[in-house]
Structure 1
Amino acid sequence: MTEPKTPSPLSYRAAGVDIDAGDALVETLKPIAAKTTRPGVLAGLGGFGALFALSGRYRDPVLVSGTDGVGTKLLLAITLDRHDDIGIDLVAMCANDIVVQGAEPLFFLDYFASGRLDVRKAERIIAGIGRGCELAGAALVGGETAEMPGMYRDQDYDLAGFCVGAVERERLIDGRRVKDGDIILGLPSSGLHSNGYSLARAVIARRRADLTATVGDRRLDDILLAPTRIYVKALLALHAALDVHAMAHITGGGLPGNVPRVIPKGRRAVIDRSSWSRPAIFGWLQEGGDIAEEEMYRTFNCGVGMVVVVDAADAGVAEAILRDHGEAPFVIGRVDEGPGEFAWA
């Protein structure tokens, strides 16, 4: 009679989690975090909690925080094995959200979860997060790396981020100063940013699209994985120079879904769609998916990634400041007392 085999001893590694790989990753990330350090950071990576001191830099500070992910844009990055810039998207989605209230991003933390930890791939992803933090002026002070076999397939991963900033209470931008006659400026997006990718991927599947094909003057894969533009430094310079009445980050919901969030009741934003040239990718998506015009504008940014509302008398100065900081602003509308919260001109 054959003796039953004794099961071999189990370990965390045998169950699919490599603690040593996680520890090695932390060591490779320390130089990335060090490049993003700024006044207020009290400790490097590796502690249980990240430490940051305001240190009297503000008289009456209001802390502003935001959290977000990258959505199904990750699936394209995974499919194409292109991970170097997706971390910029993660920072952008959080930092752009808090700067619209006038907040200077102070620090950022990330959450990276995968089915199997590939240290080289993770380093590329988090190096992108570091670059995003540099663009936003935020310190990468910590994060969490989770290896969860069974929750994710081996090559799949997910990202989430959390950003904290500060603004003087008296300089908080909350839309209360928006008034009739204010001018609405648009800042160009770098593409889809990180919204609408479930619809975009459906169009790609319907068209059986070759992602190396050219749309406009660029390859489709390059357009789709272009990182979200980080507007922080230009907007902080604008905020320091004049009285900004409101700003809106154009994410899910597009212009109709995001601009009304910063317009007081009793007033509306009137936007002229003919005031900017919509990048070719949006026409490609609309044609390929037979997507209705209104659906396009409530799903995608359609070329406008950020909106700024200023007094009409300040519009020229605002445009000049933004241009001096690398942006290409254009007037897209105005504020009036008409019915509703939003209207197309």
Structure 2
Amino acid sequence: MITYKDSGVNIEEGYKSVDIIKNHASKTFIPGVMNNLGSFAGMFELGNFKNPVLVSGTDGVGTKLDIAFKSKKYDTVGIDCVAMCVNDILCHGAKPIFFLDYLACGKLNANVAADLVKGVSDGCIQAGCALIGGETAEMPGFYPEGEYDIAGFSVGVVEKDNIIDGSNIKEGNVLIGIASSGPHSNGYSLIRKLIKNYDEEFDGKRIGEVLLTPTKIYVKPILKLLEKYTINGMAHITGGGFYENVPRMFKDNFTAVIDKKSFKIPEIFKYIMSLGVEESHMFNTYNMGIGFVLCVQRESSDLIIEELASMGETAYEIGYVEKGDKKVCLK
């Protein structure tokens, strides 16, 4: 008798992984979650909003996963997956409320899958949102054995009157940059081309460990700021670096003038540059040490930077806004 297992799909391993995953997901549940994992769909009750707008975002981890596989460290890239989604929807002032993930592989190992989803759970806890569902797909012959892909999406909510869409940005507004934790989840195809040995020492650690530092999640500090201060625009610095992402906060024709000497560039970016990458390309690929940018009124800049410092975040006044054609001018 031929079984599904003969085709390479182990149903029992799938059951085992689901049991472990349920434990991680339950730690993320917040008020509003209406059912446990295992239903056909996740349900979430919005609660008390006058005019709620749902804001959604989806993303994956990209080729950073390859370093995780080769380092046999699986429990942090799930944080990256959450971060790439929740930081995006945060740019419009939305509070992430729930997250769903998608995990695909060639041959399922329940413990590896559980480590990957543990990272997702940890990311959801950092973002204050609930992991309410997901999918694990075992596809033998489609993915090489030992390799996984992970993606997900988040849904957030914001009152319609509080949406941040850049319409209040004015010439002379100040740009505040909040420090990143490293390359986050962008530019890893180039990193993998330049760096082959993940065991080499860098800054007192294995460079593979440095490269697997999870993407910083900015949700909680930014939501606290929004309770006290007016923020006219926000940008998550992801693929495309400064040049692509900062102008995305502009609704009208403005240029962001940024002083590249106003903030500390982490050593990992200097090392990548030393391997032959030009500075202009670095700023067009990586966050260069600034993971999130705020556009605020000049008179509130110092107060916001001090407030961020009190929450453990390093922030800098990195530039200002002037009339222009939706671009970035680095000086």
Please give the range of the TM-score, normalised by the shorter of the 2 chains.
over 0.9
Greater radius of gyration (CA):
1
- 1:146 to 1:330, Cα distance in 2 relative to 1, 3 A: same
- The aligned counterpart of 2:16 is 24
Deviation at 1:212, TM superposition (A): 2.8
After superposition, the C-alpha distances for 1:201-244 in whole angstroms (9 at most, x for unaligned) are 01114xxxx42333334431121000000010001111111111
Mapped partners of 2:250, 2:261: distance in 1: 22
- The aligned counterpart of 1:85 is 76
Mapped partners of 1:23, 1:338: distance in 2: 56
Deviation at 1:317, TM superposition (A): 1.8
Mapped partners of 1:297, 1:217: distance in 2: 26
Deviation at 1:320, TM superposition (A): 2.1
Mapped partners of 2:205, 2:147: distance in 1: 27
The AA in structure 1 aligned to 2:293 is V
Q: 2:297 aligns with which of 300, 311, 316?
A: 311
Give runs of ≥4 in structure 1 deviating > 4 Å. none
Q: 1:96 aligns with which of 87, 95, 120?
A: 87
SS in 1 for 2:4: coil
Mapped partners of 2:202, 2:19: distance in 1: 41
- The aligned counterpart of 2:209 is 222
Mapped partners of 2:226, 2:29: distance in 1: 23
- 1:28 to 1:340, Cα distance in 2 relative to 1, 3 A: closer
- The aligned counterpart of 1:298 is 284
- The aligned counterpart of 2:6 is 14
Indicate conservation of the 8 Å contact 2:167/2:252, yes or no. Answer: no
- 1:169 to 1:17, Cα distance in 2 relative to 1, 3 A: same
- The aligned counterpart of 1:62 is 53
Q: How many residues align?
A: 331
Deviation at 1:273, TM superposition (A): 0.4
The AA in structure 2 aligned to 1:32 is H
SS in 1 for 2:247: helix
> Aligned runs of 1:119-134 on 2, under 5 Å?
119-134=110-125
What is the identity percentage for the equivalent residue pairs of Structure 1 and Structure 2?
44
Mapped partners of 2:114, 2:320: distance in 1: 45
Unpaired stretches in structure 1, ≥5 consecutive residues: 1-8
Indicate conservation of the 8 Å contact 1:193/1:227, yes or no. Answer: yes
Mapped partners of 1:217, 1:59: distance in 2: 52
Deviation at 1:339, TM superposition (A): 5.3
Indicate conservation of the 8 Å contact 1:237/1:321, yes or no. Answer: no
- The aligned counterpart of 1:42 is 34
The AA in structure 2 aligned to 1:254 is G
- The aligned counterpart of 2:323 is 337
Root mean square deviation of aligned Cα: 1.2
Deviation at 1:90, TM superposition (A): 0.6
The AA in structure 1 aligned to 2:115 is R
Mapped partners of 1:60, 1:324: distance in 2: 32
After superposition, the C-alpha distances for 1:236-263 in whole angstroms (9 at most, x for unaligned) are 1111111110110000000111000112
SS in 2 for 1:327: coil
Indicate conservation of the 8 Å contact 2:230/2:296, yes or no. Answer: yes
SS in 2 for 1:244: coil
SS in 1 for 2:104: strand
The AA in structure 2 aligned to 1:227 is P
- The aligned counterpart of 2:183 is 192
Mapped partners of 2:278, 2:233: distance in 1: 29
SS in 2 for 1:274: coil
Deviation at 1:340, TM superposition (A): 5.2
2:230 is the counterpart of 1:243 = yes
Q: 1:52 aligns with which of 30, 44, 59?
A: 44
- The aligned counterpart of 2:127 is 136
The AA in structure 2 aligned to 1:36 is T
TM value normalised by structure 1: 0.94
Indicate conservation of the 8 Å contact 1:215/1:280, yes or no. Answer: no
2:20 is the counterpart of 1:33 = no
Indicate conservation of the 8 Å contact 2:8/2:107, yes or no. Answer: yes
- The aligned counterpart of 1:267 is 254
Indicate conservation of the 8 Å contact 1:272/1:333, yes or no. Answer: yes
SS in 2 for 1:270: strand
Structure 1 window deviating more from structure 2 (279-288 vs 227-236): it is: 279-288
The AA in structure 2 aligned to 1:50 is G
Indicate conservation of the 8 Å contact 2:106/2:146, yes or no. Answer: yes
Mapped partners of 1:237, 1:189: distance in 2: 18
Deviation at 1:291, TM superposition (A): 1.1
